[in-house]
Amino acid sequence: MACCCLWISCGKDKPESPKVYPKVNIDAALRLGLNDVSIAASYENAGAEPVIKKGFCWSTAQNPGINDHKIEIAPSALFSDTIYDVGQNATIYFRAYVQTADSIYYSENVTIITGGVDNSLLNTLNDGSRRHIRQVIETTDNHFLQLIIVVGAGISWTQVVKLDKAGNVLWKKDYYAGTNKHPDEIMEVADGYLFVATGFVNPVKSLSITKIDFDGVKAWEKTFAQKTNQELIRTKVLPGNQVMLTMISYDAFLSIGRSNCSIDEFVIDLAGNGVSEKTLLADSQITRQGDTWLGLNTPDGGFSMTSHYTDPASSIFDQLAIQKFNAANQLEWEKLYSKAKVYGPASSSLTPAGAYDMLAVFEQSGKLNSWVMEIDKSNGNKNWEFIYDTNKYGLPVSTVGNKLYLDASGNVYVFGTVTDPSDTGANLFVLKLTSNGKQLWNYVFKIPKGESAGPEAILKQGNEIYLFGAIFDSQVVGSNSLFMTKIIDN
């Protein structure tokens, strides 16, 4: 009997190496402007599988994939990009991805909340007349009050409209129809509203102030006629239910400037009675300046005055001038600011620290550019300036800033138009700067009505930027619409 034994020698099995999968991370995601996003990512542990594609995908739903919105980046390129116009007023989810021959690997979700125009609010009003908005204020009952100039056949008059926050008209009143009184400024007082208007009987200009109640019913009017002409510099609500008006008064505007020119200050009570008045002879610079005045009340009780300065004897014909007056209406300092050819000033405002922010437009090389400056309150020197140059920011042709607004943090908002002969429609822009003049974002958009639009007022509440203006259509003769919309700055 034969016995056969088979011996099998088994060594210890070598464990198989675990498969390595790419790990993808979004390293940074930052909203630029209202709905553009700068994003950067990285990946590690690519293992034996080479990356053949990589990129970013996004959606309003969580866990977006490559079948949603996506942007692809070359495998050898930096894993970063700027994604434009990802969606307005939405919560957007982003993921980075890498793709190998076998699979697609994603990062975790990153969330960005965007802003943009809220066209659901877009309200347009047309009462059959041609109108422009001079000023919008927020009332203590949380509504908006619009001061409007109505343009008729060779005459203009004043209109006041009260709106709720949805743009609905609560009441609308016309004042001095047929009398050629242009509205200048409106303010809220304890028992109603006061508005100042300039009456024109060529070449004479005269100021009046009118009191209306909270429903727009006229209570009284007071006129000022110390000299032939008056031009408003500022108004100020004083303690004890009094209001101050500061104006320039003169007899005539001659080739050498205003004759017998003075700065006059009037204080009245809310019944229209005179309380006090003060007169100070104006210096020669005020006498020569143009008729665009922007006055600001300063924290020390005085005021600043920004104007378009014209001096035929100067090699620089069109300049901006700012003058600072103390509480006694005495001039403390004055400065001139020059560019190639200056238009304006368009708008001005006080910063929380009491400096002066000013908006103007200048022409250079056939283009118009918006010009924002901050002026030191103590000496008139420029703290900073920002030029919204169409070449630098890739916008077409020209930008014309019209209104400026400062929030409580000193951020600067500029509302204006973008002009482009190759494009039709109402192109508008809102530009946001920091308190030291650095651009945060610029946003160009269209009002989806009319052929063109004019920006005429801007206010901000929380993260809502309310915009007001006029819409024009060549097919509509003799009238235009006024619009109200808002941008959400999340």
pLDDT in tens, 31-46: 887 888 999 999 987 6
pLDDT digit string (tens) for 284-296? Answer: 556 555 556 788 9
Q: Is the pLDDT assigned to residue 15 strictly greater than 80?
A: no
Cα distance between residue 130 and residue 126, in whole Å: 8
Q: Is the pLDDT assigned to residue 349 strictly greater than 80?
A: yes
Which stretch of 152-156, 382-386, 406-410 has the lowest confidence by average pLDDT?
A: 152-156
Q: Is the pLDDT assigned to residue 426 strictly greater than 70?
A: no
Percentage of the chain beyond pLDDT 70 is 85
Contact 210, 221 (CB under 8 A): yes
Q: Is the pLDDT assigned to residue 55 strictly greater than 90?
A: yes
Q: Is the pLDDT assigned to residue 476 strictly greater than 90?
A: no
Query: What is the pLDDT at residue 270?
Result: 95
- The vertex-235 CA angle with 230 and 241, nearest 5°, equals 125
Residue of 373, 360, 347, 383 whose CA lies nearest to 459:
347
CB atoms within 10 A of CB 101: 8
Alpha-carbon distance values, 172 to 123, 129, 142, 483 (Å): 15, 13, 17, 15
Q: Is the pLDDT assigned to residue 13 strictly greater than 80?
A: no
Which of 9-13, 103-107, 252-256, 319-323 is the most confident on average? 103-107
pLDDT confidence bin for 441, thresholds 50/70/90: confident
Q: What is the DSSP string of 335-404?
A: EEE--SEEEEEEEEEE-TTS-EEEEEEEEETTEEEEEEEEE-TTT--EEEEEEE-HHHHT--SEEEEEEE
Mean pLDDT, to the nearest integer, of 122-132?
A: 78
pLDDT confidence bin for 280, thresholds 50/70/90: confident
CB atoms within 10 A of CB 145: 21
pLDDT digit string (tens) for 447-470? Answer: 766 667 788 999 998 889 999 998
* Distance separating the N- and C-terminal Cα atoms of the chain: 95
Query: What is the pLDDT at residue 316?
Result: 56
Query: What is the pLDDT at residue 7?
Result: 43
List all residues 6 or more positions away from 240 whose beta carbon is below 8 Å from its beta carbon.
Answer: none
Percentage of the chain beyond pLDDT 90 is 45
Mean pLDDT, to the nearest integer, of 309-329?
A: 75
| 288 secondary structure, DSSP code | H
Average confidence score pLDDT of the chain: 85
Count of positions (residues) in the chain: 490
Contact 249, 229 (CB under 8 A): yes
Query: What is the pLDDT at residue 311?
Result: 63
Tokens of 199: 């009456």
Mean pLDDT, to the nearest integer, of 250-258?
A: 73
Q: What is the DSSP string of 188-221?
A: EETTEEEEEEEEEETTEEEEEEEEE-TT--EEEE
Mean pLDDT, to the nearest integer, of 320-324?
A: 87
Query: What is the pLDDT at residue 359?
Result: 93
Mean pLDDT, to the nearest integer, of 470-475?
A: 77
Query: What is the pLDDT at residue 8?
Result: 45
The HSE-up count of residue 188 (CA atoms within 13 Å, CB side) is 14
pLDDT digit string (tens) for 352-407? Answer: 999 999 999 988 888 889 999 999 999 999 999 999 977 666 666 788 999 999 99
Cα distance between residue 135 and residue 133, in whole Å: 6
Cα distance between residue 245 and residue 233, in whole Å: 8
Query: What is the pLDDT at residue 18?
Result: 64
